Amino acid sequence: MQWHTSFSNQNMVKLKPLESDINIAKLLVLSDAYNDISVNANEDIIFELDEPELAIISVNNGKISLQTTQFDDVVCSGCAIALTTFHGKCHITSNTTSTISILLFSGSLWHSILEKQLSKRMLLFNNSSIRLFLSSLPECIAEISDISAISYSFLLSLRNAVLSEQAHYPFVVEAALNIIEEDYAFLEGVQDLAERVEVSVGHLTRLFKQSIGLTPLQCLTQFRIAHSKQLLLDDSLSIAMIANLCGFANANYFAKVFRHEVGMSPSEYLQTKNISNKKAKSSDIYLL
């Protein structure tokens, strides 16, 4: 892992340096662990993963913005996310003081454990297993074989936990999530979604709340906003075009929802990305 940040080994778990004749790339080892790192408001943590590496970032308190070359989203307290070299440089920021934990695994064996779960390029899950794992680690692990065994056991339990969570999703919720993911730009709303899976809006909402803690509308909005963030980086697209491509009725409504979800207007979001916002100059009416 390559760090580009001012934070210096804050709360780093003590692990024996991995100096051995053993080919580490063919093993699975926990190479770095940081527990309860404090991230101050507007502080940046930036890192890049080398191949083959897997990073797991757990948000213990607060809320962070996590940006990679593949996605830009918010991860809330109680959640964790898995990243690989596919995601490129990772940039973490926090609007308020937050605490996070970072686990870094090296070696190609993690592919055989989490390959299917990471097939969609990112994995978001409950962080309870991360906190339990870190609290159970000994102060210093002496042997590389012990590190490998602990790492394999943890990732295996993590995969089982994720599979268990997914298995508890009712068929209707799975079907609705697939429709949202594939057709969010064309859905006319929750009523349209409920009709497609042949249940009432009330029943669909109850199933969503029970299964994933969000309403269908919240899920649909999250997908639309995530896609809009990518499109905003394209100078050839106007705000009105982006609103239409993401399924919003008009640009004014898109800007209103964007501010509510992201905490800033589309033009302010572009400024944080240090991108010349040519389209904002001709579309200021939509960016209030």
Return the pLDDT at 13. Answer: 59
Q: Which pTM was predicted?
A: 0.56
Q: Which CATH class is domain 171-286?
A: mainly alpha
For 94, the 3-state DSSP assignment is strand
Q: Is the peptide bond before 216 cis (omega within 30 degrees of 0)?
A: no
Task: Give 197's contacts (C-beta < 8 A, 6+ positions apart).
Answer: 172, 175, 176, 179, 204
Nearest to 180 by CA among 220, 233, 135: 220
Estimate to the nearest angstrom the gap between the alpha carbon of 81 and the chain centroid.
Answer: 5
* pLDDT per residue of the chain (288 residues) written in tens, 0 to 9: 555 555 555 555 555 444 444 454 456 777 778 888 888 888 888 877 776 678 889 998 888 888 876 667 778 888 888 887 666 678 888 878 889 998 888 876 776 677 666 654 457 777 888 888 887 776 666 566 777 788 888 888 877 776 665 555 677 888 898 899 888 889 989 999 999 998 999 999 988 888 777 889 988 998 898 888 888 888 888 999 999 999 999 999 999 999 988 888 998 888 876 544 444 444 443 443
Return the pLDDT at 251. Answer: 94
Return the pLDDT at 26. Answer: 53
Nearest to 111 by CA among 70, 171, 66, 52: 52
User: Domain 2-167, what architecture?
Assistant: Sandwich (2.60)
Which position has the token pair 């210093």? 140
Which position has the token pair 């969010």? 184
| 15-31: b (≥16 Cβ within 10 Å) or e | beebeeeeebeebbbbb
Residue 7 φ/ψ, nearest 5 degrees? -75, 130
* From-to residues of CATH 2.60.120.10 in the chain: 2-167
Are 41 and 165 in contact by the 8 Å Cβ rule? The answer is no
Q: Which burial class, exposed, middle or buried, applies to 231 when counting CB atoms under 10 A from its CB (0-12, 13-18, 19+)?
A: middle
* From-to residues of CATH 1.10.10.60 in the chain: 171-286
Nearest to 230 by CA among 241, 240, 242: 242
